[in-house]
Amino acid sequence: MNKLNISIIGVPMDLGQNRRGVDMGPSAIRYAGAVERLQNIGHSVNDLGDIAIGGRELSQNTKLRNLEEVVAANTLLANRVHDIIGEGNFPIVLGGDHSIAIGTLAGLADSYDNLGVIWYDAHADLNTAETSPSGNIHGMPLAVSIGLGHEELLNIRDFSPKIKPENVVIIGARSVDPGERELIREKGIKVFSMHEIDKLGMSEVMDQTIQYFQDRKVDGVHLSLDLDGLDPLYTPGVGTPVTGGITYRESHLAMEMLYASNMITSAEFVEVNPILDEKNKTADVAVGLMGSLLGESLI
C-alpha cells in the first residue's frame, strides 16, 4: 500500500447546530486511538491540533445561526487545509459539526481542477437560509460548496463555487427536506439513498460510485463522512440520528472499496457527540472506518 504523510486537524465546532457536545468530537476520536491506528498501518501522522473556535453570538440570527463565528472558524480551517495540500500531505479533519465541511472544501478546491466529493450522510445538507427549517448551518455545507447560500459563507478563500454539483455523490440519505429534494433534481446530484443501498447492496453502490467518478475524470475525491450516516445502533453519539441507516459492516466494506480504488485524496469524520455516546462507541467506529479507508486489513 501507499504510505501517506497524513496531517490531522481537529475542529471542535458546535456552532453549526443547537445541540451541545459535538465540540468534544475531535478529542473523543483522538482518545479512541486515531493517530496510533494510522501509524500502525504504516502511515506518517502529524497531529496539528485544533482550530480555535469563537463563542456563540448573543443575538442569534435564526435563519443563519452563529454565522460570523462559523465563517471565522471555516476560514481558519480552509487556510490550514490549503497549506496541507500544498505540502503534499493527506488531510484528515475531525469534527465537530458538519458545517466544518465548508472550510474543508474551500481549502481543497483550488488545488484540483475537477474535485469529486462523497457525502456519506443521512442528510443531504443542501439547505439554504430560505429552505432550512432550523437555521442550523450544519445542514447547509453542501449547498454552500456548490455555490448556494450567504455570501460570507460562499466567499471563503474568495471564490465560489468550490465544487460542481455533478461531481457529488450522496450515500446513505434518508432524511431530506423538501427544498433539498428540489435542488437535487434541479442540479442533477447523484444520490444513493437507503432504498438503493437496500436494493442494490453496498458493493454495487460503491462500484457505481467509483465508476461515476472515473467517468467524470475527477482528479481527486474528498470523503465527507458524517457518523449519522450509519444506523444509530452502531453510532448512538451523534446529534441528529436517523433510524434505518447503513450498517457497521456495510460501512467498512464501503471504506475498503474506496481504499482499493486509490481515488480518495482527503477525508473528514464529523458529528461525533460524546455526551450522547455509549462508552465512546461512536468515536471507536469513526477510527475503525478511518483504518479501513486508509488500508488496514485483517490479513
- Write out the residue range of the structural domain in which residue 189 sits: 5-293
Q: Examine residue 65 and state whether it is found in any structural domain, yes or no.
A: yes
Q: pLDDT tens per residue, the chain (299 residues)?
A: 689 999 999 999 999 887 889 999 999 999 999 999 999 999 999 999 999 998 776 546 788 989 999 999 999 999 999 999 999 999 999 999 999 999 999 999 999 999 999 999 999 999 998 999 888 999 999 999 999 999 999 999 999 999 999 999 999 999 999 999 999 999 999 999 999 999 999 999 999 999 999 999 999 999 999 999 999 999 999 989 999 999 999 999 999 999 999 999 999 999 999 999 999 999 999 999 999 999 998 77
Buried b (16+ CB within 10 A) or exposed e, 148-186: bbbebbbebbeebebbbbebbbbbbbbbbbebbeebbee
| Cα separations in angstroms, 182 against 113, 141, 189 | 27, 17, 10
Q: Examine residue 226 and state whether it is found in any structural domain, yes or no.
A: yes
Q: Which is the catalytic residue, given 23, 69, 97, 121?
A: 121
Q: Which is the catalytic residue, given 125, 177, 180, 256?
A: 125
Q: Which is the catalytic residue, given 50, 256, 271, 277?
A: 271
What is the number of structural domains in the chain?
A: 1
What is the residue-wise DSSP string for 130-172?
TT-SS--GGG-HHHHHTT-S-HHHHTGGG-S-SS-GGGEEEEE
Is 125 considered catalytic here?
Answer: yes
Q: What is the C-alpha R_g of the chain?
A: 17
Q: Which is the catalytic residue, given 123, 150, 222, 252?
A: 123
Is 231 considered catalytic here?
Answer: no
pTM for the model stands at 0.97
| Cα separations in angstroms, 117 against 133, 169, 212, 277 | 25, 6, 11, 28
The residue among 72, 162, 145, 168 whose CA lies nearest residue 110 is 162
CATH number at residue 122: 3.40.800.10
Q: Which is the catalytic residue, given 43, 82, 138, 252?
A: 138
- Cα angle at 245 between 219 and 66, to 5 degrees? 70
Q: Examine residue 231 and state whether it is found in any structural domain, yes or no.
A: yes
The residue among 192, 170, 194 whose CA lies nearest residue 247 is 194
Is 226 considered catalytic here?
Answer: yes
Q: Examine residue 298 and state whether it is found in any structural domain, yes or no.
A: no
Is 150 considered catalytic here?
Answer: no
Helix 281-293 crosses helix 34-41 at what angle (to 10 degrees)?
20
Is 228 considered catalytic here?
Answer: yes
Q: Supply the pLDDT for residue 55.
A: 77
Q: Examine residue 299 and state whether it is found in any structural domain, yes or no.
A: no
Q: Which is the catalytic residue, given 23, 228, 231, 296?
A: 228
Is 138 considered catalytic here?
Answer: yes
